[in-house]
């Protein structure tokens, strides 16, 4: 996950490069709330299509978000 501040809008931008998704908010908490909803939707959509979510190795320190998504059989 990457967290940045947009210098033009002053919005906080958070992205999950492995999923190719991102969102924004006026502060980190709001941006993460929005991204959490988007990630859950994205993962549920992948499950409905019978696709595995992409993975990244977890190494070192960082900010991690856990998303619960319903499991679907293809």
pLDDT in tens, 7-21: 999 999 999 988 899
Name residue, tokens 């998704």.
21
Q: Which residues contact 5 (CB under 8 A, 6 or more apart)?
A: 11, 12, 13
Q: What is the mean pLDDT of each run of 10 residues along the chain (74 residues)?
A: 92 92 94 93 91 74 63 53
Class of domain 1-74: alpha beta
Cβ neighbourhood burial of 38 (10 Å; 0-12, 13-18, 19+): middle
pTM for this entry = 0.70
In whole angstroms, what is the distance from residue 72 CA to residue 49 CA? 9
Q: Where are the domains of the chain?
A: 1-74
Name residue, tokens 């994205």.
42
Q: How far apart are the first and last CA of the chain?
A: 28
């Amino acid at each position: 996950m990457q967290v940045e501040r947009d210098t033009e809008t002053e919005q906080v931008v958070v992205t999950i490069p492995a999923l190719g998704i991102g969102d924004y908010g006026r502060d980190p908490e709001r941006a993460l709330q929005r991204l959490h909803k988007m990630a859950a939707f994205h993962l549920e959509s992948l499950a409905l299509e019978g696709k595995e979510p992409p993975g990244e190795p977890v190494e070192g320190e960082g900010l991690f978000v856990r998303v619960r998504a319903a499991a679907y059989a293809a």
